[in-house]
Amino acid sequence: MDESVIKMFEKEYGVRVVYDTFSTNEDMYTKIKSGGSNYDVAFPSDYMIKRMIDEDMLEKINLDNIPNYKYIDQRFKNLEHDPNNEYSIPYMWGTVGILYNTTMVDEPVDSWEILWNPKYSKEILMMDSQRDSIGIALKLLGYSLNSTNPAELEEAKTKLIEQKPLVLAYVVDEAKDKMVAGEAALALVWSGDAVYGMLENPDLAYAIPNEGTNLWFDGAVIPKSTQNKELAEAFINFLNEPEIARLNAEYTGYSIPHVEARKLLPPEIVNNQAAYPEEHELDNVEVFVHIGDMLKEYDRIWTEIKVH
């Protein structure tokens, strides 16, 4: 978050804001769950919002106190983890897709199948992230990326084992740097990393395959520990002032669900198809659902793939 935004809020409301950041959703969850903190607002991702709702950790948000909610794109409302928009306000979002080097790949990148093309043997970087990599294999096979059906998962496993000889490496953070350096032709990445890569190396492009992908986003929530719910709502509303949302989006580089603020963004960001894909590209997207204990099954499959 752009800290100057926080400064502005402090000035306008005459309060002091304590701002902490966490490297993962799980870290934040642990901190809030263990008590001892009294955060008024938190920004977890979709599946974590669901988990926190399930565990009764969140306050219901009074939308009457957040008039700026009207600016939020309809597409980001009524989502599975919060079907009635009671607990969370969409904040930032992104996708998973293929970052590729246009000097090495000359065919159109429109299917996950390209990551199985022997032509690019040892030129493919996969993501060392169980949900993402297994998820796109499921998508390619025409299943849901939240599948918990053992037969479907078995098929996805076979598919990924088949792909293994073509893969240069399974990485997460290094992917964007390797792509910028021209070390590989294709990489499975998050859109945020793609935006970074494309700014560093103009030969890179980003594509969301037709089979669909994972759409993720973070939302603003109010933990039960809050001592000032109205102020928390005021803060969330403040963040959704068009001008404030624009500042924040430019600072973080992530995509925003805010219709008005998007109009204020400079063209090189709005026209970056990694950050703001065309409507039709998002036809088949799905959001991750917290799969509970099935995570262990995913882990077993992923281990089998990597040990193979």
Partner 1 sequence: MKRNWALTPYLIWMIIFIVVPLALVVYYGITVNTDSGVAFSLSNFKRFAEPIYLRVLWRSIKLAIISTIICLIIGYPVAMILAGNSFKHKNVMVMLLVVPMWMNFLLRTYAWLTLLEKNGIINSILGKFGLPMLNILYTESAVILGMVYNFLPFMILPIYSVMSKMDYSLIEAAEDLGANSLIVFRRVIFPLSLPGVVSGITMVFMPAVTTFVISRLLGGGQFTLIGNLIEQQFLYVGDWNFGSTMSLIMMVIILISMLFMNKADGPERSGGLW
Among 22, 69, 170, 276, which residue interacts with partner 1 (rule: CB under 8 A)?
A: 170
Query: CA 240 to CA 259: how far, in whole Å?
Result: 10
At closest approach, how far in Å is the CB of 308 from partner 1?
A: 9
Establish if 119 lies at the interface with partner 1 (CB under 8 A): no
| Closer residue to partner 1 (CB): 47 or 235 | 47
Establish if 299 lies at the interface with partner 1 (CB under 8 A): yes
Among 140, 167, 185, 256, which residue interacts with partner 1 (rule: CB under 8 A)?
A: 167
Among 3, 26, 86, 162, which residue interacts with partner 1 (rule: CB under 8 A)?
A: 26
Establish if 181 lies at the interface with partner 1 (CB under 8 A): yes
At closest approach, how far in Å is the CB of 123 from partner 1?
A: 10
Among 59, 110, 174, 260, which residue interacts with partner 1 (rule: CB under 8 A)?
A: 174
Give the chain as a 3 state SS string.
Answer: CCHHHHHHHHHHHCCCCCCCCCCCHHHHHHHHHCCCCCCCCECCEHHHHHHHHHCCCECCCCHHHCHHHHHECHHHCCCCCCCCCCCEEEEEEEEEEEEEECCCCCCCCCCHHHHHCHHHCCCEEEECCHHHHHHHHHHHCCCCCCCCCHHHHHHHHHHHHHHHHHEEEEECCHHHHHHHCCCCCEEEEEHHHHHHHHHHCCCEEEECCCCCCEEEEEEEECECCCCCHHHHHHHHHHHCCHHHHHHHHHHHCCECCEHHHHHHCCHHHHCCCCCCCCHHHHCCCECCCCCCCHHHHHHHHHHHHHHC
Establish if 32 lies at the interface with partner 1 (CB under 8 A): no
| Closer residue to partner 1 (CB): 15 or 295 | 295
Q: Name which of residues 146 to 165 contact partner 1 (CB under 8 A).
A: 164
Establish if 169 lies at the interface with partner 1 (CB under 8 A): yes
Q: What are residue 168's phi and psi, to 5 degrees? A: -75, -45
| Closer residue to partner 1 (CB): 169 or 269 | 169
Establish if 130 lies at the interface with partner 1 (CB under 8 A): yes
Establish if 171 lies at the interface with partner 1 (CB under 8 A): yes
Query: CA 69 to CA 79: how far, in whole Å?
Result: 15
Size of the site for partner 1 (CB under 8 A): 22
**Where does residue 27 rank: exposed (0-12), middle (13-18), buried (19+ CB within 10 A)?**
exposed
At closest approach, how far in Å is the CB of 240 from partner 1?
A: 33
At closest approach, how far in Å is the CB of 184 from partner 1?
A: 9
| Closer residue to partner 1 (CB): 163 or 226 | 163
Establish if 15 lies at the interface with partner 1 (CB under 8 A): no
Establish if 142 lies at the interface with partner 1 (CB under 8 A): no
Among 168, 204, 220, 222, which residue interacts with partner 1 (rule: CB under 8 A)?
A: 168
Query: CA 83 to CA 100: how far, in whole Å?
Result: 35
Establish if 183 lies at the interface with partner 1 (CB under 8 A): yes
Q: Which residues bind partner 1 (CB under 8 A)?
A: 26, 128, 130, 164, 167-171, 174, 178, 181-183, 295-296, 299-300, 303-304, 306-307
